[in-house]
A and B are shown apart, each in its own frame.
Chain A
Amino acid sequence: MAILNYTDEHNQFRERLKSFIQREILPNGEQWEKDHIVPKSAWQKMGQEGFLCPTVPKEYGGPGLDFLYSAIVSDEMTRTGYTGLTAGLHSDIVVPYIVSFGSEEQKKKFLPGCVTGDIVTAVAMTEPGAGSDVASMEMTAEEDGDDVVLNGVKTFISNGIICDLVIVAAKDPNVEDKHTAVSLFIVEDGTPGFERGKHLEKMGMHSQDTAELFFSNCRIPKSNILGDKGAGFIMLMQKLQQERVVSAISTVAAAEAMLELAIDYCKNTIVNGKPLSKKQAVKFTLAELATETKMNRVFLDNLLLGHTAGESVIAETMMSKYASSELANTMADRLLDLFGDFGVLEASPLARSFRDLRITTIFAGTTEIMKTIIAQSMAL
């Protein structure tokens, strides 16, 4: 009952990616967790082998593939259990801003590097005082001759330390309406006035660098304005859609991977002479979690069908994002119970999942924001 039509080419791509992961990701994951960052060389290897930016058109150096290739990358990268090399964030969340809204000049300048991994990207929306309430951002962008001058602070920026290019949302202080005041800007590494703040310590996702970014009289040329002036908020909201699809792909994959791990563990762990999997409560727990995972998988694949066909699937995306991230969290928590003492050790793979997943009901829009949008879709 396959919903998605993966072609032979898709399947071969997945196999090549799996082999890349075996060679380049899994042997290094623990070190990256300790280092709290992934080296640039790993990004470049991934780019060289064709696993970054699958959907970037050929004319800009990309492979020009469909979004299902992106879905395969997010799915398989999640299954590694290491969150640091955020290919999905780069390829499917940030780079699409340039593809969709960039000028011809911007596309030619930046996209080829994004595809090879020489340019790692980030998007800076959140501020210390503006989380879910994106429109209340305070960062300003004022035009001065041929330049734009940026001032403000962004926080919780994934890839904040490693990024070479960051798409920044800031508002024109002279425009009163807070939605139409926002524009997007491309800021490159090394621009005077652009500083990276603390490498933030987190509960999980240790191999991924999250940082504050500071802009003080940061001058960029007007040619670095991305898309139409004043359309920043609309562009953000439009691209948040795919961000949430990517989030759902990851949390469904995470749930499937944890379930697989738990089934294996329960079959092979003997307690008082019997495998754990022979206990009725364990069987029922795994049966329930498998049911919910499958329901989320079917829902997601159906959503992906609509998303790749360009249909309007806003409410479905919110449903999938929130339901699967909540499930993945519940599952990590519950499976730790079955793992018992072993689950407590950092050496147990579930421990890391438990820590890493906690942010998934918060980032890319909290569960509460998802429910708010779903309610709006029902005209409530």
Chain B
Amino acid sequence: MFELTKAQKGIQKAAKDFAKGEFDKELAYELERDNEFPTKIWEKAADLGFIGIHFPEAYSGGAMGLLESVLIAEEFCRKDSSIGGALIHASYAAECLLRFGSDELKSTYLPKIAEGEILSAGAFSESDHGSEEKTIETSAKKDSDEWIINGTKKYVFNGAQAGFYIVLCQTDPDASPTEKGQSMILVESDRQGISIEKVGKKIGGNMTTTATVTFKDVRVPSINLVGKEGKGYDQLQAYLNESRIILAGQALGTSLGMFDRMMDYVKGREQFGKKLAQFQISQHKIADMATKIELAKLITYKAAWSADNGQLDAKLSSMAKMTAARTAMEVGGQTIQLYGGYGFMTEYEVERYYRDAKVIELQTGARDIQKDIISGAIIGKIK
């Protein structure tokens, strides 16, 4: 249990080699500055099978599990948190399709994602606050063999570039509780009636574009329903549970990326006649960081392993995501501190990793949301 299989180690090494060969510091600087997606690297990553590695082979995937996806996320983000983050989320929300979609939808769209033809997006949120909404305004009405969709979704990741959106819609306005009337519908981004407004720069994660997407009388065939009618909310929760494991892998890699750079720095930088690594306070900071990273790794791998073994556990996913993201923030804070003034300078990269880490921490809910989920699962219903 405490060792990766030979195949997993192979994937880990392949991801590491790919990132080392393709990710470039100067390019990363430019892409982040210009808010651009790393298109060329994404295409190569898809060619080599890194995108959608957890899809079945029939859909151009690698028939692997979440643990393998986590290993890739870790190695990619370790080499560059922003490029890594953009690649990992190239298949954003595709898991909704993978787990709940019809064979027809899956065979049409999953290969396009895995082969690097399109990006995917999930259009769930409507408020400024997050995705824990049980009441939504976006509606989908049936009109013979079509859905007519109306509404506005906020904070849509990959929103300006996606080939399709998985849209959470209210299909039954009379349902009680309201979330029992929600369904997921796949909407291709070239449908009539879609307008997109980019949110502009974010604190981090600036190689993906986040947008507000408005659907006005957008018509899609009824077969675009993903999963079951009225099950949209539950499917979204299941998807989020799964995606949190990947986010944990992203956070883990981001921590390691900062830690690696910090270690090089403290062994080289001299102040008061000693290397920074020779001060006891630095040593203890390093010990704390390494310990937290190890904890984050263990819980992330366990969450992925559990999901791969048919025991996707909402509580564990949230614990992993919360722990790994917090670790990235703590490691980032101390890494910048040890770098001193250099840590604040763009040229030294770690400030970008730190900003990216905060975005990971807020994605799919900040600490408080994760704690609500964890405690909810532990306490259960009180009579």
Show the binding face of A for B, using Cβ within 8 Å. 126, 129-133, 136, 155-156, 200-204, 269-273, 276, 279, 281-282, 329, 333, 336-338, 340-347, 351, 354-355, 358-359, 361-363, 366-368
Q: B326-354 CB contact bits vs A (8 Å, 1 = yes)? A: 00010001001100110111110001001
Q: Which residues of A contact B204 (CB under 8 A)?
A: 344
Determine if B362 and A337 form an interchain contact, defined as CB atoms under 8 angstroms apart: yes
How many whole Å from A327's CB to the nearest CB in chain B? 13
Determine if A345 and B200 form an interchain contact, defined as CB atoms under 8 angstroms apart: yes
Interface of B is mostly: mixed
Q: Which residues of B contact A273 (CB under 8 A)?
A: 135
Determine if B341 and A203 form an interchain contact, defined as CB atoms under 8 angstroms apart: no
Determine if B132 and A271 form an interchain contact, defined as CB atoms under 8 angstroms apart: yes
Report if B201 contacts A (CB, 8 A): yes
Rounded to whole angstroms, the CA-CA distance of A358 and B332 in the bound complex is 11
Partner of B129, one of A136, A276, A333: A276
Known contacts A272-B132, A344-B203, A368-B281, A358 near B345 by CB under 8 Å: no
Q: Which residue of B lies closest to A279 (CB)?
A: B368
Q: Which residues of B contact A126 (CB under 8 A)?
A: 341
Determine if B129 and A269 form an interchain contact, defined as CB atoms under 8 angstroms apart: yes
Partner of A354, one of B129, B133, B358, B367: B358
Determine if B368 and A132 form an interchain contact, defined as CB atoms under 8 angstroms apart: no
Report if B154 contacts A (CB, 8 A): yes
Partner of B130, one of A201, A341, A362: A341
- A271-B129, A333-B333 known; 9 new pairs, CB 8 Å cut-off, are A136-B273, A156-B345, A200-B346, A281-B371, A341-B129, A345-B199, A345-B203, A358-B344, A368-B281
Determine if B351 and A337 form an interchain contact, defined as CB atoms under 8 angstroms apart: no
Rounded to whole angstroms, the CA-CA distance of A253 and B42 in the bound complex is 44
How many whole Å from B28's CB to the nearest CB in chain A? 14
Partner of A341, one of B155, B201, B341, B355: B155
Partner of A355, one of B203, B281, B362, B371: B203
Known contacts A358-B336, A362-B337, A346 near B201 by CB under 8 Å: yes
Determine if B341 and A155 form an interchain contact, defined as CB atoms under 8 angstroms apart: yes
Determine if A351 and B203 form an interchain contact, defined as CB atoms under 8 angstroms apart: yes
Q: Which residues of B contact A362 (CB under 8 A)?
A: 336-337, 340-341, 343-344
Partner of A366, one of B270, B340, B347: B340
Q: Which residue of A lies closest to B272 (CB)?
A: A133
18 contacts across the A-B interface (CB closer than 8 A): A129-B270, A203-B351, A203-B354, A204-B344, A271-B127, A276-B129, A333-B333, A336-B362, A336-B366, A337-B368, A341-B362, A342-B129, A344-B204, A344-B210, A344-B358, A344-B359, A345-B199, A362-B340
Rounded to whole angstroms, the CA-CA distance of A281 and B127 in the bound complex is 20
Report if B125 contacts A (CB, 8 A): yes
How many whole Å from A186's CB to the nearest CB in chain B? 24
Rounded to whole angstroms, the CA-CA distance of A350 and B136 in the bound complex is 27
Rounded to whole angstroms, the CA-CA distance of A126 and B345 in the bound complex is 14
Partner of A203, one of B128, B344, B366: B344
Determine if A361 and B341 form an interchain contact, defined as CB atoms under 8 angstroms apart: no
How big is chain B's contact interface, by range? 35 or more
Determine if A272 and B347 form an interchain contact, defined as CB atoms under 8 angstroms apart: no
Contacting A at CB under 8 A, from B188-211, are 199-205, 210
Partner of A367, one of B337, B358, B362: B337
Partner of B346, one of A203, A269, A359: A203
Determine if A201 and B340 form an interchain contact, defined as CB atoms under 8 angstroms apart: no
Report if B13 contacts A (CB, 8 A): no
Determine if A361 and B337 form an interchain contact, defined as CB atoms under 8 angstroms apart: yes
Known contacts A201-B345, A203-B346, A340 near B336 by CB under 8 Å: no
Q: Which residues of B contact A270 (CB under 8 A)?
A: 127
Q: For the complex of A and B, list the 9 residue pairs with the smallest distance between their C-beta atoms, beginning with the closest.
A: A337-B366, A203-B351, A201-B346, A133-B271, A342-B128, A340-B129, A346-B201, A340-B130, A156-B341
Rounded to whole angstroms, the CA-CA distance of A133 and B371 in the bound complex is 43
How many whole Å from B335's CB to the nearest CB in chain A? 11
Determine if B130 and A132 form an interchain contact, defined as CB atoms under 8 angstroms apart: no
Rounded to whole angstroms, the CA-CA distance of A354 and B333 in the bound complex is 12
Determine if B340 and A132 form an interchain contact, defined as CB atoms under 8 angstroms apart: yes
Q: Which residue of B lies closest to A352 (CB)?
A: B203
Q: Which residues of B contact A271 (CB under 8 A)?
A: 127, 129-130, 132-133
Q: Which residue of B lies closest to A281 (CB)?
A: B368
Determine if A346 and B271 form an interchain contact, defined as CB atoms under 8 angstroms apart: no
Rounded to whole angstroms, the CA-CA distance of A333 and B367 in the bound complex is 11
Rounded to whole angstroms, the CA-CA distance of A340 and B131 in the bound complex is 10
Q: Which residue of A lies closest to B346 (CB)?
A: A201
Rounded to whole angstroms, the CA-CA distance of A338 and B347 in the bound complex is 30
Q: Which residues of A contact B125 (CB under 8 A)?
A: 341
How many whole Å from A337's CB to the nearest CB in chain B? 4
Rounded to whole angstroms, the CA-CA distance of A126 and B271 in the bound complex is 12
Report if B361 contacts A (CB, 8 A): yes
Q: Which residues of A contact B99 (CB under 8 A)?
A: none
Q: B316-334 CB contact bits vs A (8 Å, 1 = yes)? A: 0000000000000100010
Report if B134 contacts A (CB, 8 A): yes
